[in-house]
């Protein structure tokens, strides 16, 4: 499922892979939804390309989202392992006390 795309000189995002919204209308809930999609699903992002984004606001927002999400997508298994290990020690300690 594609969640970020560049089309007609503008950037767009989708939380469901079907309905596209202009990137300058994204909210914090939209960003969280995109992150959850990256973690839970196989997703694609159109690579950031400054020349394809004519709208300056779209360029800035798309670039920042892409630069933050692309490393997570490329290192998804490491990210998932880190999340799983985050509370592992506390969970083990809790089990020992029970």
pTM, two decimals, is 0.79
The CA-based angle 75-79-85, given to 5 degrees, is 150
pLDDT, residue 16, reads 93
Q: What does the alpha-carbon distance between residue 63 and residue 83 come to, in Å, rounded to a whole number?
A: 25
pLDDT, residue 98, reads 61
Q: What is the DSSP letter of 47?
A: P
Q: What does the alpha-carbon distance between residue 91 and residue 98 come to, in Å, rounded to a whole number?
A: 11
Q: What does the alpha-carbon distance between residue 61 and residue 17 come to, in Å, rounded to a whole number?
A: 19
Indicate the average pLDDT of the chain.
90
C-alpha to C-alpha distances, 75 to 12, 34, 36, 39, nearest whole angstrom: 23, 16, 15, 10
């Amino acid at each position: 499922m594609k969640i970020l795309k560049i089309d007609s000189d503008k950037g767009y995002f989708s939380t469901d892979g079907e309905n596209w919204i202009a990137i300058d209308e994204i909210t914090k809930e939209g960003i969280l939804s995109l992150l959850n999609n990256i973690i839970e699903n196989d997703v694609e992002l159109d690579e950031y390309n400054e020349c394809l984004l004519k709208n300056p606001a779209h360029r800035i927002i798309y670039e920042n989202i892409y630069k933050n999400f692309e490393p997570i997508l490329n290192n998804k298994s490491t990210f998932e392992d880190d999340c799983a290990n985050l509370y592992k020690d506390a969970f083990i300690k809790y089990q020992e006390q029970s």
